[in-house]
A and B are shown apart, each in its own frame.
Chain A
Amino acid sequence: MIGRSVRRLEDPRRLRGEGVYVDDVHLSGMLHATVVRSPHAHARLREIDAAAARAAPGVAAVFTAGDLMDALRPIPIRLVPDDRLLRYLQHPLAIDRVRYVGEPVALVVARSRAAAEDAAERVEVGFEPLPAATDAGSPPPAALFDYTPDNVASLIEEGFGDPDAAFARAHRIVRLTFRTGRHTAVPMETRGLVAAPDRGAAHGRGRLTIWGPTKVTHFNRGVLAAMLGWPEHRIRLVEPEVGGGFGARGEFYPEDFLVPCAALRLGRPVKWIEDRVEHLSAINHSREQCYELALALDPDGRFLGLRAEMTNDMGAYLRTHGTVVPGLSAGMLPGPYEMEAYRCRVRCVLTNKTPTGTYRAPGRFECNAARERLIDRAARVTGIDPVELRMRNLIRPERMPFARGTTILGEEVEYDSGDYPHALAEAASLSGFPSRVRGEAGDGEAPDGKAPDGKAPGGKEAGGRPAARYRSGWGLACFVEKTGTGPFEGARACLDRSGALVIATGAADLGQGLETCLAQIAGDALGVDHVGIIVRHGDTDLIPHGVGSFASRGTVMAGNAVHAAVSQLRTRLLERAAARLETEVSDLVIEADGVVRGAGGGSCTLADLAAEPGLETVHYFRCERMAYSHGVAVARVRVDTATGLVVPERIWLLYDVGRVVNPGLVAGQIEGGIAQGLGGALLEELRYDDAGQFLSGSFMDYLLPGTTDVPSIVHRDLGGSPSPRNPLGVKGAGEVGIAGIGGAIANAVADALGDAEGDSDRLPLTSERVWARARAMEAAGSPGSPRAPGAPAAGAGAAAPA
């Protein structure tokens, strides 16, 4: 059962269009809400005149901060709370100042969404614009919070060893500035909520039910209860079918308070469905980081020390993730490599842009890309083949478990298992990664961008021939992924009266196939076929405690909880069957179809056994130590130097995620993650102008990869390192696909164009940036590619403007 690519149990309803997503929930008497948002990046909020809106046809209510003042509380940090950060939290409605385009200033509720939007146009808001801070890397023209003039919300220091000593001994020091652009997760379904109060709920009687939450429903119930001053048991959060999450969806956002609050005040169900335009400026952004890196190497190319100064653009407030994302970068930047010393200092800077949070492989997509670019540059400077340079520095399997010396999410990083050199060797072999062994480079600090002459990889021309318009490039990136974040997840298992095994868990399904995965694990534990096992999730009434689905934890945490709960149930039902069949437990077999047979020929069905109550178990699996997956991403690209277009021609991904429950589901995570990574590496960027106006408010402006932007993907499960930290030996796979793509693509483009300080050290590598880079190298008279110097070919020559 475990280890098979079975068809997903979720598929039939989703293929038939029968899945019920939040906008498919329709309740009698339901009203519809829309949010009035700030058009300004930074402004004082004066009077709000909602009289005309309230008088508009079909309007039930307009709520401003003034109307809700007694109820407005800041939205708390979910992960790694820190009292020093409390003063940067966001309230559900702006009170006296707006700090980003899209910040909620009022909620309009009407008989239809269209009527609500009609009325929202009549809400008159007095804004007094202020200068906007939009660049986390330069002195701010304005303070977002008067008590923090430099907009630095927090500083993070991370590291181990003695970097001064390491750098003092360095044979070479290689430097890199690397930026990642602002991205967001973009689940295909926007967010949405339907909040339905019982009669009398506003008066302390009955409950409030909310459809639409996901990811962390139990936590969000607690937040809402605290904001409303209610006991948690009066609130039920229900996860419907969910159209993707990727880290951004399901956190507690302003609307998660506003919509239930409006429903309570009006005593009627209220639906709010985020539209795509507001989604792009309302849901968490992520990824906007800038690294200044220095790597110290010894004469053999061994890493002595790594220094990093990083700036993380946090946006206008700290949301539920606090400073977790830059913290993850700082803790994971050293990656899978040995080094004596490491020091990272992070500035978490507030700007007048949408607040930020996690997006698939948060902090690691970025830091992996920066580190792997740095290593490729070091390879060029030292003349050591990039695969060989990595080989010399990867942590060897005999060093496992490996204490990294850093801390993430309040936990010391200790890699549990894995053969990193093997993964790299396999990746180089499978992809045919071209060798780049060169002659010895000169001593001392080699100037960037000047590589020794050598044989061109990938069949490119050697020196002396005209540079081709189209150039190919190869890049790779090694990475370690943290997965299976604790502290616990629970599962209840029972046989219903029909004999069906019913599982309930606090984990969430955001589309990844949790139901199938847990059914396979449950079937394995009980010894029956997974088809027919019912997995329920994401409803706070199902189980008293739940943590949720994030950080690649579903299979690890919920999977082990399910396995333990069902194993206990099996023991209990076998005892019951033994009594019934008058035999010993050891003589019993449960067959795949659910018939229990004794050695003496007697049998009973699970339904027979379930006729009497008592076949119910609960298990909470606790794990204080994360499991670490790892892998290698390889990219081969073709660059059109005349237009700057980068075409990824093929991607390889080799990974080890421990024991695999369903290879097909893992493949889906890998391929989907790779596509998102390509989006972030080449296409996607949330842009603002200098005044803080948002420029990426539609799918015409924020470019997601489509079928023709994602090439053929080759991936392989290396297996080999089950996690010793949980009974099933599983590790998370959800973020493994994306984690190395930024680095692989950045390295491939640098390989194609040549590696100097410049724009290619910035994601996404838009065609314009790549073109500018190619042009700058030609204009400087330096070879566009160090292996293909000379004048541009005739075909491209006239293309270069004077």
Chain B
Amino acid sequence: MKPAPFAYRDPDTVDEVLALLAEHGDDAKLLAGGQSLGPMLNMRVVSPAVVVDLNRVKALAGRGGSASGGFVIGALVRQADLEDDPAFAAAQPLAAAALPFIAHRPIRNRGTVAGSLVHADPAAEWGGVVLALDARIEVRQAGGASPRTVAAEDFFTGILETAVEPDELLAEIRLPPWPEDARWGFREFARRRGDFALAGVACRFEVDGAGGGRSVRIGLFGVGDTAVRARRAEAVLEGETPGPEVFAAAAAAVQDEVEPLDDGHASAGYRRHLAGVLVEDALADAWARNGGDEGEAA
């Protein structure tokens, strides 16, 4: 299990990264945390001619609150950086709650948020999180073109496929400001701690003046080709008074709308069922949570 030979480049600037991508295109692979790429290289699932290591590009390592009140996560920010950052937990409770579910600490010490997103494993937690948060993802390419921004819901295009082209770099993730009094829930089901989930959900909603749900976002992972929004389930709660019956109806809607895969880990039917259970539980968690800034992980 040794990788095929590759050339190694470790540029210092984003421009150099983009120039290397422009030069090598499909023959190059970007290496950030390497927690997905490393195993794939060792197993020779991928054999790029060139590996471009981002780890020396300091400009990509930034994180913190933005002027608009959101939170910006640079391409080199590691899961553990956020896990250990009280400011992140305060600003983005839902995303912070998801972090401990991502693999194990030694993996989080190395793995990056951007790497998880661009690897686009359909069972990765961040997929559901960015959908629930309406995150925006900044992508850069060579040639001086201005960065383009991709909405989370347009980001995932297939199994291990995203809107990021081979000559592009996912430069940062922008989480919008956390709405005051937003409710949130995060649930996943994995057979062992730290495994990729068989199904999972990140959800958030607000409550309008009449007591109805609004701005409902339900991001699912592990139940299809890509992380997906459960739009029918969202519609069930939108404008309705939150409560057990509505949550059960949302769960039923989720089970109608998801298209899970059969694979060696679980059947499609089981994943579909789990999606409903988890959505119902996560919505109930959200509802039970007073506000959104003090909860524990689900």
Contacts and interface: CB of A to CB of B under 8 A. Distances in A.
Contact of B191 (A114, A276, A766): A766
Contacts of A801: 255, 269, 272-273, 276
A798 B191 contact: no
A167 interface: no
A277 interface: yes
A114 B2 contact: yes
B54 to A, nearest CB: 24
B272 A768 contact: no
A706 interface: yes
A797 interface: yes
A768 B195 CA distance: 16
Interface stretch (B24-32, B138-146, B244-252): B244-252
Given A643-B189, A801-B255, A801-B273, A114 B264 contact: no
A687 B252 contact: no
Interface string B1-20: 11111000000000000000
A798 B1 contact: no
A703 B251 contact: no
B58 interface: no
Contacts of B4: 117-118, 121
B266 interface: yes
Nearest to A57: B5
Interface string B234-258: 0000000000100111011001000
Interface in A257-306: 275-277
Given A695-B264, A801-B255, A706 B193 contact: yes
A703 B1 contact: no
Contacts of A687: 264
B273 A771 contact: yes
Interface residues of A, number: 39
Nearest to B272: A801
A429 interface: no
Contacts of B274: 643
A517 B269 CA distance: 52
Contacts of B272: 801
Interface string A771-802: 11001000000000000000000111111110
A768 B192 contact: no
Interface string B265-298: 1110110111011001000100000000000000
Interface string B171-201: 0000000000000000001011111101000
A277 B2 CA distance: 12
A56 B193 CA distance: 43
B255 A117 contact: no
Contacts of A138: none
B251 A683 contact: no
A799 B277 contact: yes
A566 B244 CA distance: 74
B276 to A, nearest CB: 6
Contacts of B264: 687, 695-696, 701
Contact of B192 (A698, A708, A798): A708
Interface string A607-626: 00000000000000000000
Contacts of A698: 43
Given A695-B264, A795-B244, A703 B273 contact: no
B148 interface: no
Contacts of A706: 192-194
Contact of B3 (A114, A709, A798): A114
Contacts of A799: 251, 273, 276-277, 280
Nearest to A115: B2
Interface SS majority for chain A = loop
A749 B79 CA distance: 37
Given A695-B264, A709-B192, A801-B276, A794 B2 contact: no
A683 B244 contact: no
Contact of B244 (A121, A709, A794): A794
A628 B270 CA distance: 44
Contacts of B56: none
* B1, B269, B274, B284, most chain A CB atoms within 10 A: B1
Contact of B2 (A113, A766, A772, A798): A113
A700 interface: yes
Nearest to B273: A801
A698 to B, nearest CB: 8
Contacts of A772: 270
A709 B194 CA distance: 11
A277 B244 CA distance: 46
A600 B29 CA distance: 83
A696 B263 CA distance: 12
Nearest to A34: B2
Interface string A688-712: 0000000110101101011011000
A800 B248 CA distance: 10
A767 B280 contact: no
Contacts of A683: 191-192
A638 to B, nearest CB: 15
A701 B270 CA distance: 17
Contact of A277 (B1, B189, B265): B1
A280 to B, nearest CB: 12
Contacts of B194: 706
B219 to A, nearest CB: 19
B248 A277 contact: no
A674 interface: no
A795 B251 CA distance: 11
A642 interface: yes
A113 B44 CA distance: 14
A736 interface: no
A607 B3 CA distance: 55
A566 to B, nearest CB: 45
B280 A771 contact: no
Interface in A536-559: none
Contacts of A767: 189, 191, 198
A118 B196 CA distance: 31
A117 B44 contact: yes
A645 interface: yes
B270 A768 contact: yes
A118 B5 contact: yes
B227 to A, nearest CB: 19
Nearest to B249: A798
Contacts of A114: 2-3, 5
A772 B274 CA distance: 12
A643 B2 contact: no
B273 to A, nearest CB: 6
A118 B6 CA distance: 12
Contacts of A771: 270, 273
Nearest to A32: B2
Nearest to B194: A706
Contacts of B43: 277, 698
A801 B255 CA distance: 8
Interface string A304-348: 000000000000000000000000000000000000000000000
A703 B195 contact: yes
Given A113-B2, A706-B192, A798 B270 contact: no
A123 to B, nearest CB: 14
Contacts of A766: 191
A601 B226 CA distance: 86
A81 B247 CA distance: 64
B271 to A, nearest CB: 9
Contacts of B5: 114, 118
Give 10 closest A-B pairs by Cβ, nearest first: A798-B248, A114-B2, A275-B1, A695-B264, A799-B277, A708-B193, A768-B270, A642-B277, A798-B251, A117-B2
14 contacts: A118-B5, A121-B44, A275-B1, A643-B277, A645-B189, A683-B191, A696-B264, A701-B265, A706-B193, A766-B191, A775-B273, A795-B284, A798-B252, A798-B280
Given A708-B192, A771-B270, 18 more contacts: A114-B5, A117-B4, A121-B44, A275-B1, A276-B1, A643-B189, A643-B274, A644-B270, A687-B264, A700-B195, A703-B195, A709-B192, A767-B191, A768-B266, A798-B280, A800-B273, A801-B272, A801-B273
